[in-house]
Structure 1
Amino acid sequence: MYNTDIPTRAELPTSAQLLRSTVIAILAAAAILVTIVLPAEYAIDPTGIGRMMGLAEMGQIKAQLAEEAEKDRAAGQQGAAPVAAPTPGRRSGLLDRIFAELLIGPAAAQTAPARRSDEMSITLKPGEGAEVKMVMIQGAKVNFSWTVAGGVVNYDLHGDGGGQETSYQKGRGVPGADGLLEASFDGKHGWFWRNRGTSDVTVTLRTSGSYTEIKRAL
């Protein structure tokens, strides 16, 4: 004998209720996009909330570094001086990234990835910053270690995705770090380093664990 009660038709949600729930979810996602994602990722802060929360400053740094990287790539391809400004396509690329972050990314990250190991080295000039991100699902774990040759760096180990953001660790003037990173949610998780010294440094990162992709974001 089963004690589970089967809901009647009257107890099931109506089409109007489902539509209302969908509209509320869309409005909530739009609010998160405008107040958190745009300021933190692209320095776009129409409401001013991102500036009060300190997210706009982080977005400005990322946008500046992205523009500098684009200039360097253009100069390397053309063999000429860096271009003066980013191309108009940056806006469409921004919208594509927002769409991927909020819609495609979370849906594609539901399957647990196989374990993998990677190693990469990044050289930073004085004042230069770089970011490396891994695509991870909630609860996935990665063992990591990174070292700095030639000096020390400031760093922030953080994650973002689906309108969520978190900072796992931060440090100033650090020669390296190691540990276990466990993703708090589906998204991109990794490190931002900046060289505040007066000479070039090289950051060597080693990772091993459950993630589908690792690449330099900035």
Structure 2
Amino acid sequence: MFNTPLPTVNELPSTRKLVRSTVIALLTAIGLLMTVVMPSEYAVDPTGVGRALGLTQMGELKIILAQEALADTAPPQALAPSSAPAPAPQIAQIQPAAIPVAQSASAPTPAMKTNQMTVTLKPGEGTEIKLEVLKNKTVSYEWTAAGGLVNYDTHGEPYNGEKGYFHSYNKGKQVKSNKGEFTAIFDGTHGWFWRNRSNNDVTISLKTSGDYLNVKQ
């Protein structure tokens, strides 16, 4: 048998070292308790380290599982016999009295207008005739030029539109007549501009028919 020699007094740790080691061990245990044990077992995380490490989520899951297991083992609660529901009182159905609906007077449809106009242009002179037409209203027209050929532009300008803005429906050069229809794309003035490019006086005869407000010549 081998006998281990006992340590001498000088080899034993001093009281100061023992106290320091004890304090370090105690602080380590407290740190592990607060950062590992409490978050992972009880979902209590006073330092926030447990949630960062995913331990708090583990503790929350354990608590949920324990609550579900407790609910499964609990004896079922006996349901108290419910009394039969009282019959609902009969409510007499009252037929609603017919309420006469007042016939609203429909807005009168604007009468279709028809106009015939004549204008004479000297050589190089230009003029225009416009109709005030509301959006989506249609106008039919036909015009002829007697005495020569003219350039024309059928166009529209919106009320309070930007200066110089207009929409052209159709136009032509050196023609003696044109007919067709247009549907206004906005509220405004819509019509024709002619210019006599011949050396003779030219008389333009215009016929219009449609849903417009008035003529501006």
Bin for the TM-score computed over the shorter chain: 0.3 to 0.5
Give me the TM-score of the superposition, normalised by structure 2. 0.47
Higher helix share: 1
Give me the TM-score of the superposition, normalised by structure 1. 0.47
Larger radius of gyration: 2
